[in-house]
Amino acid sequence: MKTRVWGTVLIAVAIAATGCASGEDRATFPTASAPLQTTASPPASTDATRSTSTTTAPTPAPPATETIATGLPLPWGLAFLPDGTALVTLRDQGEVLHIAEGAKPVSVGHPPGVVPGGEGGLLGIAISPAFASDRTVFVYLTSRGDNRVMRMTFDGLALMPGPVIVKGIAKAGNHDGGRLAFGPDGYLYISTGDAGARDPAQDKTSLSGKILRVTPDGAPAPGNPFPGSPVWSLGHRNVQGMAWDKAGRMYASEFGQNTWDELNRIEPSRNYGRPIVEGIVHRSGFVDPIRQWPTADASPSGIAVGADGAIYMAALRGESLWRIPLDGNGNAGTPKRLLQGKYGRLRTVVSAPDGRLWLVTSNAFRGTLHPGDDRILALRLPVR
């Protein structure tokens, strides 16, 4: 397979003139991800109902960061291989890069059938827990007709296509979900968006607005709450972050509608409210988030549990990394805002094998590009 090496390049996007209130961070919707000679910034939100204030702990000193890769065109998902290197998806390129610290990223393949558009394209990626023996990688992609999950094989040099294991997830210009992660139970969790439609998130027979739990072959995992269904939880708008703490408790980040973005503790069969409620409302039948943020401060995407036991949440519109401490019962303490405005929009955060956090920026989509964007950074957590 012919490989491509990515150097430091500048990518910018043309910003459309019309707003999109229902987008992943309620910002202006771009028309393409084409290289340009100038950068563009989205206009300020015109939604007068949104709050721009939040109550948080004092901002601590910025943690130390190291640069892993630069000049990446719209990176989205990142997953670590057992040797400590990583595979990274490029959303609009429909391409996967192999990244080793200290070396240039190398292309290892294009999963077939990717049709990028809006927030869709080549999104999440997950590595099989048994990768040492099965060499299996899973990707979430937008095709011509739907969003789907494909199983692939990676021999260290190239990705080889395999079967589609889950299909029929609704696609749209926004709210395509797309995060993949293996839980501590060994099953694959898939986050889906509501594809811009409201009611399907409450429909147990629909894959939209859900977290799904499946076997590596795509079948509903044993112990799922609804017999014969891959649905694990429902009532979601657009989940793009999933993680587990040391006790095996599951958490997910959630894009709100107009007022509140959420961090939820996920339990099987539970209903998280979309489109009926948003944020903390204490309404019977729905699960309140354990933390909420005004949409101007968050637009949360990926999350990870750090070596210190706290949840770290990447914020797009909020251009920050939020640290949310957890107590022994999984309750959330007061969030702290890290890296505010320092690297722009943050798409993905993943806990590395060495205890650092790897961060993926997303400034080429609805952001302001700076030299070196988009990039992957490593953040070394302070010793506690």
Total domains present in the chain: 1
Would 33 be classed as within a structural domain?
A: no
Q: Is residue 15 part of a domain?
A: no
For residue 82, the enclosing domain spans 65-380
> Under a CB-based contact definition with an 8 Å cutoff, are residues 357 and 78 in contact?
no
Nearest CA to 260 out of 28, 4, 14, 54 is that of 54
Within a domain: residue 299? yes
Model confidence pLDDT, tens digit, residues 305-316: 999 999 999 999
369 in any annotated domain: yes
Report the alpha-carbon distance of residue 348 to residue 359 in Å, rounded.
6
**What is the reported pLDDT for 118?**
96
Asked if residue 23 belongs to a domain, the reply is no
Q: Which stretches of the chain score pLDDT less than 70? A: 1-62, 383-384
Q: Determine, yes or no, domain membership for 169.
A: yes
Residue 37 domain-assigned (yes or no): no
Residue 21 lies in a domain: no
Residue 299: predicted pLDDT:
96
Residue 200: give its domain's CATH number: 2.120.10.30
**pTM (2 decimals)?**
0.87
Q: What helix, strand, coil percent values describe the chain, rounded to 5?
A: 5, 35, 60
The pLDDT of residue 68 is 98
